[in-house]
Structure formats: structure tokens, C-alpha cells
Structure 1
Amino acid sequence: MKTFATSMSNSVRWIGISTVMIVLAAIAIVMSRDAPATLGVPLAGILTLALALAYAISPLRYEMGGGRLVIRRQVGRSTVELRGAIIREDKDAFKGLVRVFGNGGFFAFDGLFYSRQLGMVKVAARHRDHGVVIQPPSGRKVIVSPDDPQAFVAAAVAEGAVLSN
């Protein structure tokens, strides 16, 4: 099994740090006010849960083997069939993406997005400069962001994917 790293871009890192600071400040304000416990404690819990969930589903690395791509997350994984998939490196894959449902920069770009160029796509990325688009034989297009896109595409072709121009 081949493993490919995906590191956080500076923008993702700063969005994450800023969001954590804002959420912590909001929790401190809510808990320090004279708000009734029926409001303050549940709100703090919801904000903390949102932070933990966003981090837990963010992609950690990509693994290839047996004709499949496994997107390892902090908690869990997703699998994409590579045999017969069409794959290409696309530096502009993230341009014009609009989030439909998911995370748009807090620890990662993850979820369902739309673009005029690609249509509806699933995204599991931590860096917008290293886009690779995968069209599985069945299912929705996927955008990933390995640190070494050329090696990633070459490995995917070796696993049965078809290179697209």
C-alpha cells in the first residue's frame, strides 16, 4: 500500500486557528454571563462538539492499494474505486468551488461542493494548490490534494486508473 501525505495550507491552518479562538472566546463569554445554565452549558457543548467533529472528519492522508484509494481521516475513512477511474492533476480544481454541504476551510475542505467546470464533486483536501480530480467508474467526482500530485497520479494509473488530459 502506497501512502501519500496531505499537509495543511497556511490558509487552512489560519482559518482553523482563528475559528478555535473565536469559539473559545464565545464559550468563555457565554459561561461568564449570568445566562441561565439551560442556555450556556448546552451552547458551549454544541460549539465544542462542532470543533471536534470538524477535526475528526478532516483528511489525514491518502493510501492506495488493491485498485482503491483510501482517504484516511482523523476518525474513519472513505474509499474510492480506482480501477477504470479517470484521473488528472488539475491546479484549477478548487477555483469557483461553492460549498453545498461540508467544511469549507476549518482544518480541511471536505464535503459536497459545486463548480461550473466540474459539477457536483466530493472534496477531501487540506491544500487548494495540489488538486487531483478523480472520476470513479460509478459515483461522483472526487477532488483530493496530495503533497506530490505527479507521484499520486502515477500511482493511481498503476492501480488501474486512466490518465486524462
Structure 2
Amino acid sequence: MGMLLESPQFNAAWSTTLKLLTGGTLGLLLAIMLLSVFRDSPLFSLDGFLGIALPFAIIMGTAAFSVRGYSIEDGQIRIHRLGWSTTYPVDTVHHAEVVPGIMKGSIRTWGNGGLFGFIGHFQNDRLGAYRAYATNATDIVHLRIDGESIVITPNRPGEFVGRLKQDAAWEPNVVPS
């Protein structure tokens, strides 16, 4: 588990699309909460409670799983979250390449498709089933880890793959962006 104040080596820059999706969704959820507070039914009723608790739970739940950045340290790829991190051992990475746009045409099968990130399980024709920890569609690094496809979006993808190359026993592919 990572520390809350731990600083990632590579930022997870948000695309304009992600900013718009997050802003719009937060606006809608906050409007639902405000309407629940100012409507005629009491806050202690079931619908009053749900109108506040459900949007709040959605915001907090998705924020907890958001991606703050990425680092490679102590033989681990670390995906920094809000107060914790997801890790993958570098020695389990069999392939890494920079592939802008590889998420195009993806269908979300389980996860979050735009509130604080594109995080979860997705599928498309190029990758098949894959897991994403993404915040934009341009700085994409595709990893193969123990047979699983994983997509991450560090702000300097070529440098990220270069760091992996230093720490791994294989030659990762770097596709120019």
C-alpha cells in the first residue's frame, strides 16, 4: 500500500474529455444532492437520504479509485491512487510499448468510464479484454503482465517504458508517438 503523500514519478494528466465528463457528472450529482436538501420531503425520509447519500457515495467511491500517477520503484510498477496504490512486479512484465489511441473503440465491461478516470475492465478489437488505469487517450503504455493486457497513461510514456527497460530482463517495444 502506498502512502497518501507519496509523489509519483510520472503524472496522470487528465484529457479535456475526462475533465468535461468529470465536471459534468459532478455537477449533476451535486445538483441531485442540493435538490434533495431543498425539496419538501424531510431529509430523514428514504428518498431524502438516498438523494444525498447515493451521489456522495458515488463521488467518494470513484475518487478513491482515481489514478494520481505512476512510478517504477523497488522492482514494482506502482499505480498511485488516493491514499493507496496498485502494484505489479516489474519481472512479470513481458511486453511494454507506447501506443497512442489503442483504447479507441473500447467497450467498458466493468468499471468507471469517465468520472475521475477510465478505470476498470474494457474490451476492443485491438487488445481484446484489458484492464485500464487511464486518464487520457494519447499517453498510452500497453503492458502485458502475466498474460493480461494493461493500459496506463503516464505523462511521459517513452520515458516510462525506458525506465522499465532498465529494470527488466527483456527489451520493451517503443512505438513512436
Q: State TM-score, norm by structure 2.
A: 0.85
Q: Does 1:142 align with 2:150?
A: yes
Contact 1:65–1:159 at 8 Å: present in 2 too?
Answer: no
1:110 maps to 2:119: yes
Q: Distance in 2 between matches of 1:141 and 1:88?
A: 11
Question: Which one-letter code corresponds to 2:14 in the other structure?
Answer: M
Q: Helix, strand or coil for the counterpart of 1:110?
A: strand
CA distance in 2, matches of 1:131, 1:81: 19
Contact 2:32 2:51 in 1 (8 A): no
Match of 2:3 in 1: none
Secondary structure of the residue aligned to 1:64 is strand
Aligned length: 164
Are 2:26 and 1:16 equivalent residues in the alignment?
A: no
Deviations, residues 91-117 of structure 1 (Å, cap 9, x unaligned): 121111111111111111111111111
Compared CA separation, residues 58 and 15, structure 1 to 2 (3 A):
same
| One-letter amino acid of the structure 2 residue matched with residue 147 of structure 1 | N
Question: The residue matched to 1:162 in structure 2 has which SS?
Answer: coil
SS in 2 for 1:8: coil
Whether the 8 Å contact between 1:2 and 1:65 is mirrored in structure 2 is no
Cα shift at 1:46? 1.2
Which residue matches 2:163? Answer: 155
Identity %, equivalent residues: 22
Is the 1:120–1:141 Cα contact (8 Å) retained in structure 2?
yes
Which string of whole-angstrom CA distances, capped at 9 and with x for unpartnered residues, describes residues 40-66 of structure 1? 112310111101111111110101023
Is residue 8–residue 68 contact of structure 2 (8 Å, CA) maintained in 1? no
Q: Deviations over 1:73-103 (max 9, x none)?
A: 0132111222242101001211111111111
Change (3 A) 1:2 1:110: closer
Q: 1:30 to 1:2 in 2, by over 3 A?
A: closer
Runs of 4+ in 1 over 3 A off after TM superposition: none
TM-score (norm 1): 0.91
- Counterpart-to-counterpart distance in 2, 1:2 and 1:17: 24
Structure 1: which amino acid aligns with 2:36?
V
Unmatched segments (≥5 aa) in structure 2:
1-6
In the alignment, what sits opposite 1:41? 49
Q: Mean Cα displacement is larger for which, 16-25 or 75-84?
A: 75-84
